[in-house]
């Protein structure tokens, strides 16, 4: 079902219509734009990542990129995140690129977090606090990142850069079901997403 949404951003009225309108519940000044996407069901077959350390983004233009500035809501690591928090995912962008962290209460149960990240530029990625049962892959064109983490209540994560991609889309699941938006926490203030999947866009 199509939904439409209207966001006021720094005095600019942006109307969005898509398969699933995605944003974040913050004040208008907090972000430039966050729009929706639907993850493709015919994603390329993944290939193993080399696990190399993600490089720094190029330092040109707004927010270090010619493609523009990211929404403020996605910026900064949250002080409120701790391993063993309520089941969910934390996503932010910092000086070294994007970060995704997942966890759940240490109650003796295993939670399988899976996800897809799609960008319009090649992705480079490294794992963070992963164990042998945790995996991530890149598609053959390196523009789609897949992960599957068997979480035991500690931290599992990845850091990645996407060469100043103007669009980065996220789709997150836990035990086979899409995470509710309230369980996806964005940026330094851990603001809940409005829907899942969602896309973060740069704006000049």
Q: Does 15 have pLDDT greater than 80?
A: no
CB 118 within 8 A of CB 172: no
Q: How far does CA 75 lie from the centroid of its chain? A: 11
Name 167's Cβ contacts closer than 8 Å, sequence gap at least 6: 37, 119, 120, 199, 200, 201, 202
Strands 177-178 and 167-174: antiparallel
Q: Where exactly are the structural domains of the chain? A: 3-201
Q: How far is residue 131's CA from residue 156's CA, in Å, rounded to a whole number?
A: 8
Q: What is the mean pLDDT of residues 125-153?
A: 95
Strands 191-192 and 184-186: antiparallel
Per-residue pLDDT tens over the stretch 78-127: 998 999 898 999 999 999 999 999 999 988 889 999 999 999 999 999 99
Name 146's Cβ contacts closer than 8 Å, sequence gap at least 6: 43, 46, 114, 115, 116, 136, 137, 138, 139
Low-confidence winner among 39-43, 67-71, 164-168 (lowest mean pLDDT): 39-43
Q: What is the per-residue pLDDT for 10? A: 28
CA proximity to 164, closest of 73, 52, 90, 56? 56
Q: What is the per-residue pLDDT for 129? A: 94
Helices (H), 53-142: none
Entry pTM: 0.72
């Amino acid at each position: 079902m199509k939904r439409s949404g209207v966001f006021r951003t720094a005095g600019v009225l942006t109307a969005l219509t898509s398969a699933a309108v995605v944003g974040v519940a913050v004040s208008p000044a907090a972000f430039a734009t966050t729009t929706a996407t639907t993850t493709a069901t015919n994603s390329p077959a993944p290939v193993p990542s080399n696990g190399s350390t993600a490089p720094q983004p190029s330092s040109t233009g707004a927010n270090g990129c010619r493609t523009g500035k990211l929404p403020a809501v996605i910026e900064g690591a949250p002080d409120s995140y701790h391993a063993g928090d309520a089941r969910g995912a934390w996503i932010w962008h910092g000086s070294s690129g994007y970060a995704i962290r997942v966890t759940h209460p240490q109650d003796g149960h295993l939670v399988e977090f899976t996800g897809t990240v799609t960008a319009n530029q090649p992705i480079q990625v490294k794992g963070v606090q992963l164990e042998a049962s945790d995996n991530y892959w890149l598609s053959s064109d390196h523009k789609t990142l897949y992960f599957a983490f068997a979480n035991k209540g500690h931290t599992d994560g990845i850091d990645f850069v996407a060469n100043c991609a103007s669009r980065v889309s996220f789709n997150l699941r836990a035990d086979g079901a899409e995470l509710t938006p309230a369980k996806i926490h964005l940026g330094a203030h851990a603001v809940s997403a409005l829907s899942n999947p969602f896309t973060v866009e740069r704006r000049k």
